[in-house]
Chains A and B, each alone.
Chain A
């Protein structure tokens, strides 16, 4: 298969309200940084792919229409990707596919969310007729599955709080992060209000405005780059229904099968040994151990042991979310691409203060819907086999 690489990445300053910019301006802040990081200019971009979570979040149907000018899409193909919270990752995979298929030399991938323009909790709790009024946002949806994980794995109660402490402290190393809390402690997390029992306030992602962009190029473009690139070693996406009899909400089959396909395509047989750093979509703290198992870094029921023993901290065996992750910045549509871009930054050696020393192989991961859509990639400092 043809090779592809991340030539450059860019992201915004993520915060609760970016009232200084329009949606177009928010996207361009990330795009302009990605182009500069890649060392390319508009004439070298062949196509644009945009990802954004459900349109109800901003109340703009098909924002790609009015954003075409700002995205530099005039005279180029523009594609929109929709896969709920995983969309930022799926957008990166679609852009990669366009390059690997030999259709384009350089593709600009962009994802954004401007949560301050509405209220995602409201948008995710709309009650259709003939249903009971029981929706309670993403937290209400995922909390029962977190409870099931804790029961199934017999994980100690403090593991969730440990993830929150780690990620928020990591976020303090990341100048783009929305939440930067170097002083957070296990006690302070455990003392924070219980929102959706068993999920506490400090174990919950924030609501952010933000965008992310990446320039993905073919082998010639990568070899022409004056700076290190992140070679895309493998990508995978899988889907399953939101609900079906026997669905495993704790360890979803689509996620496990995507991971299996990913490792195989990347030539990785022992992910825990061969992957140096992982950016995993963890919107609620307990999803770190859950996804460690789903991704095959640990046996089912044992993911929490990696977290509890400190192996997922920077300096541990598998640093997870050194950028602070979704727990520190959650511009929903962009959150998946931020995972992909942060993985790329690690193997490019451009992750700044949250750089994992010697990172050569990195995972970017995203999921969306009711644990329904999964997208992931492995990037490395060399093209691999």
Chain B
């Protein structure tokens, strides 16, 4: 393959973590209220009621301590429409995203309105909370809002959502103190032109370096020289033999780990290169030394692709150790 003209490589990078949130006294009571089908707003020193609640008064900066119930009905103050809901949004059919000022509140809450059609949405429309069947103390306890034909509730109306269920509010569990917020991020990771050439060469069993035209250092993998800020262009083959400059024995297990500890991650200065690459050394962990000579152990060529994992690991060659002076500038 003409690696010089090969297009950049791209592959998905999906990362995910179930983050936790400790809520503190204000948001904890708000979430507990939602679980119990009650909406609480924060009253600040100027008398305004904020829904969702603020933890600190933006004018006085004092902690908010007073939470007041507001009714489950309100008015749309502005809106937009989504024809194609995305994964994780409140509704799977087209819906309105609306700013909704609950009766008795002075600020608006962003949520979904299950209005059926765009034509049914309008600023000033009356809406009511549709509670989720299963509630845990989370903003998703409000499944969405739906159009409401009833009269406005007075601000001091503290009845909860559905008739006949308010008596149990607040009595069915402990204070909610935390929530889990799963976050999924999906990227397309694209390599640079220099890295792409390196990876294409790897898929052919070759290790490719490039020499910086300014400092003359050979970079593996090739990259814009970090010291001089200029692209490297002159391609230089490097050997799949090298010297361990330094290393770490990883004994600690952790989330997302792909290898079973213990294993050795070494900085390997390939012969002909001026910067080490990190890779695995297999064998007895206790035998790995600074200065040890090692060679790449390639996987079956039938499995090769554009990845450094074509090299399964490095193995000791049995040659005498490289003298410290030969690699001390690379530590």
Chain A positions within 8 Å of B, measured between CB atoms, are: 17-22, 24-25, 28, 42, 58-59, 68-70, 72, 74, 114, 116-119, 121-123, 125-134, 136-137, 139-140, 143-145, 147-148, 151-152, 193-197, 241-246, 248-250
Contact = CB atoms under 8 A, between A and B. Distances in A.
B265 interface: yes
B144 to A, nearest CB: 23
Given A24-B55, A117-B19, A147-B290, 9 more contacts: A123-B17, A126-B15, A128-B13, A131-B307, A132-B280, A134-B280, A136-B265, A148-B331, A151-B324
Interface string B56-99: 11111101000000000000000000000000000000000000
Contact of B56 (A17, A24, A129): A24
Contacts of A241: 226-227
The 3 lowest CB-CB distance pairs between A and B, nearest first, are A197-B249, A22-B24, A133-B258
B185 to A, nearest CB: 9
13 contacts: A42-B61, A59-B183, A114-B22, A117-B20, A129-B13, A131-B308, A133-B309, A134-B259, A147-B290, A148-B245, A151-B246, A196-B251, A246-B227
A158 B38 CA distance: 60
Contacts of A244: 225-227, 275
A299 to B, nearest CB: 17
B23 interface: yes
Contact of A134 (B181, B191, B255, B278): B278
Interface string B185-209: 0000101000100010000000000
A103 B60 CA distance: 24
Contact of A128 (B63, B189, B309): B189
A232 B259 CA distance: 48
Contacts, number: 185
A152 B20 CA distance: 43
Nearest to B11: A129
B297 interface: no
Contacts of A194: 249, 251
Given A70-B55, A134-B280, A151 B13 contact: no
Interface string B285-313: 10000100000000000000011110100
Contacts of B254: 119, 121-122, 125, 136-137
Contacts of B167: none
A225 B299 CA distance: 69
A119 B17 contact: yes
Given A69-B54, A144-B267, A152 B328 contact: yes
A18 B24 CA distance: 10
A59 B181 contact: yes
Contact of B331 (A21, A123, A132, A250): A250
Contacts of A70: 55-56
